[in-house]
Structure 1
Amino acid sequence: MLLSRYQDVLVEAGCDEAGRGCLAGPVFAAAVILPPDFQHELLTDSKQLSAIQRAELRPVIEATALAFAVASVSPQEIDRINIHNASYLAMHKALDTLTPKAQYIIVDGNRFIPYQQTPHCCIVKGDGKYLSIAAASILAKTYRDDYMERLAPEFPEYGWCQNKGYPTIQHRSAILQHGVTPHHRRTFRVTDPQLSLF
């Protein structure tokens, strides 16, 4: 894992999102600026970590980062502007609240809508290559999981404590039986448990 691309000369933020493929709930994104000497033996792509490991890393990231921010975009806004644009909007909202401001942005994935006049680089599987992107992936994932777990008791039929809004067979079957909630993304295909997501 690399710490940064240009952190020796620029204030560099790593960005990632969580929840893009879900049927319910917001999409979350995080932006993280790590100190130049940051290292942690566990830090990697959040999808490669257990929930316990992510929970262990989150306070470490929050305590040691030079700056971090987490933002979300609602299911209604996702339906209005589409999930890709909503993911970039969530990243922009997170970047808006960083202090100090990022002078360079590294983003997980192969696409990004430019943020103001700040230069950026898209890095495929960047959450497994750069520590700041990995840190952002963990914050976005843990904040989103916490959000879905808080919603779950109000809508127990959908199993959000377990599936966090992702399109499991249990989740799709509950939609068939009980319909959609105000937290479901209406533009996503949710009416048949055997259908693919898009």
Structure 2
Amino acid sequence: MPYEPPTHRVERSLRATTGAKIIAGVDEVGRGAWAGPVTVCAAITGLRRPPPTLTDSKLIPEPRRSELAAELSNWVTAYSLGHSSPQEIDEHGMTAALRLAAVRALEGLPQRPDAIILDGKHDYLGAPWRVRTVIKGDQTCVAVAAASVIAKVRRDEIMTELAPEHAEFAFQDNAGYPSPVHKAALEECGPTPHHRLSWSYMDALTRWKHLKRTRSEPTEQIGLF
């Protein structure tokens, strides 16, 4: 399939229809992991031509992804990262944890965006943010693609930094996502403080399933909301 670079089509549409001048692309990484935080990046790019090969971070091989993240950190107008910990995910549920991480990212920007382009079809931000959801926005929208790459590389770095503490889990290779090595380590050693104890994988851990936490329903009653 030929490479189709992302464009500023959605940004231009928002400028024309809403008058928005500062537009942030927002994307998350880590939603489906067993361990580690969920990480959200908010990136403001303006309407400049992006670096070559920019697209959804999942489609970019290493080491190009790391190289591109370094380029983007200097190329974007501004970016900020927000995280929700495994404990916050267990306590509040994933939807609320995503919003918490996204608000942390957005509030870390030097200017409050007039509008936000959010990857996917579900608006987990809501009021008071002006949100445009875009399915496959990380492939089609420049700002969202930039956020995707920066978030992915930073979260991978976080998991690599945790790896020496828990060598059996090979976090440097699987970034906390399901893998045969990760599963075997869970069965043998049990979950670490970095694991999400409300996740369904805990049901299969005969020796450790007593540690499972009941996943909370999404809530709006946490700080920053």
Structure 2: segments with no counterpart, 5+ residues: 1-5, 206-225
- Aligned match of 2:40: 29
Q: Check whether the contact 2:116–2:130 (CA below 8 A) recurs between aligned residues.
A: yes
Inter-partner Cα distance in structure 1 for 2:201 and 2:163: 18
Q: Give the TM-score taking structure 2 as reference length.
A: 0.81
Query: Could you say which residue in structure 1 is the equivalent of 2:220?
Result: none
Can you list the C-alpha shifts for 1:91-122, whole angstroms capped at 9, x where unaligned? 11100111122101000011123455331111
TM-score relative to the length of structure 1: 0.92
Q: CA deviation at 1:65?
A: 1.1
Asked whether the equivalents of residues 30 and 71 of structure 1 are also in contact (C-alpha less than 8 Å), the reply is yes
| Structure 1 residue matching 2:201: 3-state secondary structure | coil
Residues 29 and 114 (structure 1 numbering): CA distance in 2 closer, same or farther, change over 3 Å?
closer
What SS does structure 2 have at the residue aligned with 1:56? helix
CA contact (8 A) 1:27 1:72 kept: yes
One of 86, 94, 109 as aligned partner of 2:120: 109
Corresponding residue for residue 53 of structure 2: 42
Structure 1, 108-117 or 137-146: larger mean CA deviation: 108-117
Correspondence 1:119-198 to 2 at 5 A? 119-191=130-202, 192=204
Alpha-carbon distance in structure 2 between the residues aligned to 1:63 and 1:4: 23
Q: Distance in 1 between matches of 2:183 and 2:147?
A: 29
Q: Against the structure 1 CA distance between its residues 157 and 188, is the aligned structure 2 distance closer, same or farther, given a 3 Å change threshold?
A: same
Q: Which has the larger radius of gyration?
A: 2
Identity across matched positions, percent: 35
Deviates more, 1:116-125 or 1:24-33: 116-125
Return the offset for 1:43: 0.3
8 Å CA contact 1:23, 1:185 repeated in 2: yes
The 2-side partners of 1:19 and 1:124 are apart by 18
**Aligned 8 A contact 1:69 1:97 in 2:** yes
Superposition misfits of 4+ residues, deviation over 4 angstroms: none
Whether the aligned pair in 2 keeps the contact of 1:175 and 1:190 (CA below 8 Å) is no
How many residues align? The count is 194
Matched, 1:51 2:62: yes
Q: Deviations over 1:81-100 (max 9, x none)?
A: 11222122211110011112
Between the aligned partners of 1:135 and 1:112, the Cα distance in structure 2 is 19
Q: Does 1:6 align with 2:17?
A: no
Aligned to 1:196: none
Secondary structure of the structure 2 residue equivalent to 1:13: strand
SS class of match (1:71)? strand
2:37 counterpart letter in structure 1:
P
SS in 2 for 1:165: coil
User: Which amino acid letter does the alignment assign opposite residue 39 of structure 1?
Assistant: P
**Per-residue deviation, residues 60-83 of structure 1 (Å, max 9, x unmatched):** 111121110011110000001112
- With 179-188 and 169-178 compared, the bigger mean Cα shift is at 169-178
